[in-house]
Structures are given as structure tokens and as C-alpha cells.
Amino acid sequence: MSTLTVVILFVFLAFLAVQGVCLLWRYRKWYFAAQKFHGPLAVPLIGNAYALLISNDKILTRVHEICLKYINEPLRFWMGPVLLIGLPNPEHAEKILSSSKFVLKYEPVYRFPKVFLGEGLITGSGPDNKKHRRIIQPMVDLGFAKECTNVMQKHIATCMQKLLAHVDQGKFDIFHVIHPCMADVIKETILGTKENTQETGSTEFDRAMLDGYDFAFTRMVKVIYYSDFIFNLTPLKKRQDYLRNVIRTRGEEFVENAIKRQKEKLPSTDFPSISDKLAEYLDDHPGVFSKERFTDHLLTLYTASEDTLAVICSFVALVLGMYPECQQKAANEVREIFGDTPRPVTTDDIPKLKYITMCIKEVLRLFPIAPLIVRKCSGDFQLDQKWLIPKGCGIVIPIFTLQRDPRVWEKPNDFYPEHFLPEAEEKRHVYSYIPFSAGPRGCIGKILAHTGIKVFTCNLLQRFHVEAEGDVPTLKIRMDISTRPIHGHVLRLKKRVWT
């Protein structure tokens, strides 16, 4: 080995040593605090990130397994130099989600979906975001959900016609039929546009939104892509730029159209969409937020609504097909309310759906839309006088694990709607079931989501008998931004014949 090579190697090792010392000094408070927490074995440089060096399809199961091992107390998990504290206990989750020190999103994780959604209600933080939430939340209330019922019914009726083509035709993935339907629903109610996706097919924007979920998730869980320098050297950068351009350009068009309608006093649909309401508010209160922020919020509301409805409706259909006795109970309830001849669902019908509500809640328990939420600790927080959660670290609430905790749920991994009988709900900690998150940053669209799922389920059970193989414990699932079955929502349909 030449002298020059030795010198270069020495300089390189010295550089690494200096960087390591700087890193230790910078995060010294984290390291001292982390000593109090249990967690899986961490290795130098990458910490526990090695546990996630697996395919995306396996990450949800791996995270759940780790959380179950430390289910009685908080656990620490190092993503490289980044400290994450996991809280699989509902009492701890309540303290975190109710505290003002945890209202900020954790930037190292949420900066990846922010590429597409900007500073929207999900990805954004800070005073402006809080102010905008107070403006938007009343727009997506129970009254708005009721106003949307007829629009939902209209597009879901079209979906039922599409499903007729699959009767007695063997297995198919129902998500591919439901997704265009829910795209039409949310485009009309949120974006203020009628695109008739079910007839014309998915647009480039629709496909880009779906790809964006998995793309952002890949960067969230692969620590090697945390570095923009490394990421920008990969082919993924070109793909990200393409997806961002499609999503943002279309989002800006929706905003411009809404502002134009407001100026010309032209209604977009049969009732004011969220885009129209925001345009009207901006016209009355100029300068409250920019067009860019308007786009951020509109894209965020679309993402959170359209995918949620499509995925959960597909899971409801799949699980009812797996559990025929539950499907029969739900169908009997539908028959009592609607009779033997299919008819549209009205706002008066929805409060009568007691058993179907239990079924939907159980689906949301097993397959929460966001299996994990991550917050930033904005100030030192003492938890139970035993653990100090240091300022700046990330807090992970594993909703998936909370809602499958064997200490809380009678049948944690199976479909059992009786989990939501009133007497069973009274016995549980309220934070053991948080499919739409909770606290100041809880989802503002949960009423709209429940309404859409109920309208769909009633339409489905009035017309079809569903069959699906397997059961929930053997169903292989994965996550991107949402929870999904690895092999799709595969089932069979028969025409329902009342006896």
C-alpha cells in the first residue's frame, strides 16, 4: 500500500470519526434519554433501520411484531441517527395525542408526502396550519355529509351497475370497480368537478395519486432515501418529479376553476363543493391563505377522502364475504329498512344502521387507514414519571397495534362486530380505538367517510350476495399510506335473492 493511499485512508477514517463525535454531541440528550427505554438491538450508523430492509409488503407485519414485544411500555427505535419512541399503550397514546407538545408533524417522515401535498392539513404544522384547520373543519361537518348523500348515492348506483357485470363471473378485485366510483364522489364533493371516471376510465391524475401513496411510503421507511443527495442519484427522483408535476398541475387547475366560479357566481354542482366554499371564504377574507396553500388543502382533502372510501368499502365487501353469518345479519338489517326492492339510501336511513355500523367500525379496527401516525416532540415531556421523551424526537402511535391489542380485544385478529356492542365499548379505553386519529389533529372527515361507507354497503347488500375465501387472520396485508391486502380485495358476487 502506497504512502498516499495510507494518508487518504487515514484522512477518511478521521473524517468519519469527527462526524461520529459531532453526531454524538448533537444528539447526546437523545442518547441519554433512550437508555431508559427498551427496544430491539440497535447497530452503529443505521440503528434499527436494518429491521425494515425488507419489501414494503412485509413492513406492516414487522412493525406490528416489534410493537407487540414491547406492548406494556414505550419502546425506542433508531432510524439511523433519528430517535423514534413508539407508544402501543392506549393510556400513553391519550397523553401524547392530547398534549400541545405533540401537535406538530414529524418533519423527517412527513416531508416525503409533502412533496406532493405541500403544507396541507395532514402534512403541515404550525400556527397557520392550525388556523386553516379551524376554517376548513366546519365545512366538512355532519351537515355537509348529509348534503353529499345524494351525490354519493348517484355515483354508487352507477357502481352497482358496473358490479352487475361480475355476477356469477368468478373472482375479481372489487377495489378496481369501487375506486373510480369514489373518485367521482370526491371529485364532485371536494374538488367541484364532474369527470365521470366510472365511464371514461382513470385519468393520469388518478393514477399519479395512487402511485404517490406507495412512493412516499417507500421514502418514509427506507433510511437510505432520507438523504436527498443519494435519492437524487437514483431513477426514483425522475419518477417523483413526474408524479409531482401531474398532481400539482391538476390541483392548481381545480383551484383556478373554483376561483373563477366564485367570481362568476357559477355553482359547480348541485350544492357547494369544498373547493367552492374555500374560494368563497378566500373572496371574503383575502390574504388568509395563498393559492398554493389552497391547492395543498384541496389535494390533501381529496387524498384523505377518496382513497379512504375506496379502501374501506372494498374491505367491508371482502370481510362480509369471508363471514357469511355476519353478512346475513347485515343483509337482514338492510331488508328491514329498505324492503325487498332496492331503493336509494337517504339521510333518514343512516341512523337506523346499527349492526352495519358495528361491522364498519370493526373493519376500521382491523384495517385502519393510517396504521401509524408520527408526531414531533416540541418540548421535553415526562411520561408517567418514569420516561423522559426528549425534545425533537419522533413519537410513533401504532394504531394498527393499539386496535389489535390482545389485552383489550376479545378476538384481536378476527372479524367480530360484537366488539362494538355498547356494553363492550364502555369497558374499553377510548384510545384503544382511534382509526381516524384523535385529539387536536384528529381527522376532520370521519363523518363524511362513515356516511359514504354506509351508503355503499346498503346499496351492495340490497343487490348482491358476496363470497370470499379465507378469513381475516390469514389475510396478508401491507401498508403504504393506507392499509391494503397484498393480493387485492378478491371476491365473487351473486345476485341477492331474498327468502
pLDDT of residue 440: 65
Highest mean pLDDT: which range of 76-90, 196-210, 458-472, 480-494: 458-472
**CA dihedral over 478, 54, 215, 223, signed as positive or negative:** positive
DSSP state of 499: -
Q: How many angstroms separate the CA atoms of 123 and 282, rounded?
A: 21
pLDDT of residue 23: 52
Q: Is the pLDDT of residue 250 over 80?
A: yes
Who has greater pLDDT, 147 or 318? 318
Secondary structure class of 435 (helix, strand, coil): strand
pLDDT per position as a tens digit, 277-306: 999 988 888 888 888 988 998 998 898 888
Q: Which of 88, 80, 89, 19 is nearest to 48 (CA)?
A: 80
pLDDT band of residue 32 (cuts 50, 70, 90) is confident
Highest mean pLDDT: which range of 35-49, 65-79, 80-94, 416-430: 416-430
C-alpha cell at 217: 411510503
Q: Please enumerate in sequence order all residues whose Cβ is within 8 A of that of 276, keeping only pairs 6 or more positions apart, or say none.
A: 192, 258, 261, 262, 267, 268
Burial class (CB in 10 A: 0-12, 13-18, 19+), 317: buried
Q: What size, in residues, is the chain?
A: 499
Q: Is the pLDDT of residue 367 over 60?
A: yes
- What are the sequence ranges of the domains in the chain? 27-495
Per-residue CA distances from 481 to 123, 273, 371, 457, 492 (Å):
12, 25, 8, 24, 27
Pairing mode, strands 394-397 and 82-86: parallel
C-alpha cell at 189: 364533493
C-alpha cell at 211: 402511485
Per-residue CA distances from 425 to 161, 403, 431, 442 (Å):
37, 13, 11, 20
pLDDT band of residue 11 (cuts 50, 70, 90) is low
pLDDT per position as a tens digit, 202-233: 889 988 988 887 788 777 777 778 778 888 88
Cβ–Cβ under 8 Å, residues 178 and 314: yes
pLDDT band of residue 68 (cuts 50, 70, 90) is very high
pTM here is: 0.89
Secondary structure class of 344 (helix, strand, coil): coil
pLDDT band of residue 12 (cuts 50, 70, 90) is low
Cβ–Cβ under 8 Å, residues 394 and 109: yes
Pairing mode, strands 82-86 and 75-79: antiparallel
pLDDT of residue 265: 74
pLDDT of residue 46: 82
> CATH code for 27-495?
1.10.630.10
Mean pLDDT of the 3-10 span: 61
Mean pLDDT of the 334-338 span: 96
Cβ–Cβ under 8 Å, residues 453 and 312: yes
Report the run of H or E that residue 86 belongs to, with start and end.
strand 82-86
Mean pLDDT of the 339-364 span: 95
For residue 96, which amino acid is it?
I
The edge-to-edge listing of strands for the beta sheet with 104-105 is: 75-79, 82-86, 394-397, 373-376, 104-105
Q: Please enumerate in sequence order all residues whose Cβ is within 8 A of that of 114, keeping only pairs 6 or more positions apart, or say none.
A: 123, 124
Backbone angle region of 24, left / alpha / beta, with phi > 0 → left and psi within -120 to 50 → alpha: alpha
Pairing mode, strands 104-105 and 82-86: unpaired
Q: What is the DSSP string of 443-498?
A: -TTHHHHHHHHHHHHHHHHHHEEEE--S-GGG--EEESSSEEETT--EEEEEE---
Secondary structure class of 38 (helix, strand, coil): strand
Q: How many angstroms separate the CA atoms of 385 and 387, rounded?
A: 6
In our burial notation (b when 16+ CB lie closer than 10 A, e otherwise), range 110-125 reads bbbbbbbbbbbbbbbb
Q: What is the mean pLDDT of the chain?
A: 87
pLDDT of residue 9: 62
Cβ–Cβ under 8 Å, residues 190 and 301: yes
- Percent of the chain topping pLDDT 70: 92
Strand segments (E) across 108-231: 172-173
**Crossing angle, helix 446-463 and helix 175-186, to 10 degrees?**
130
Q: How many angstroms separate the CA atoms of 91 and 159, rounded?
A: 42
C-alpha cell at 320: 362480509
HSE-CB at 256 with a 13 A cutoff on CA atoms is 6
Q: Please enumerate in sequence order all residues whose Cβ is within 8 A of that of 142, keeping only pairs 6 or more positions apart, or say none.
A: 447
C-alpha cell at 485: 391486502
Q: What is the DSSP string of 389-404?
A: E-TT-EEEE-HHHHTT
Q: Is the pLDDT of residue 125 over 80?
A: no
pLDDT band of residue 135 (cuts 50, 70, 90) is confident
Rounded to the nearest 5°, which phi and psi values hold at 7? -65, -45
Mean pLDDT of the 80-89 span: 88
pLDDT band of residue 115 (cuts 50, 70, 90) is confident
Q: How many angstroms separate the CA atoms of 451 and 118, rounded?
A: 28
Q: How many angstroms separate the CA atoms of 185 and 175, rounded?
A: 15
Cβ–Cβ under 8 Å, residues 185 and 309: yes
pLDDT band of residue 61 (cuts 50, 70, 90) is very high
Mean pLDDT of the 21-45 span: 75
For residue 91, which amino acid is it?
E
Q: Is the pLDDT of residue 110 over 80?
A: no
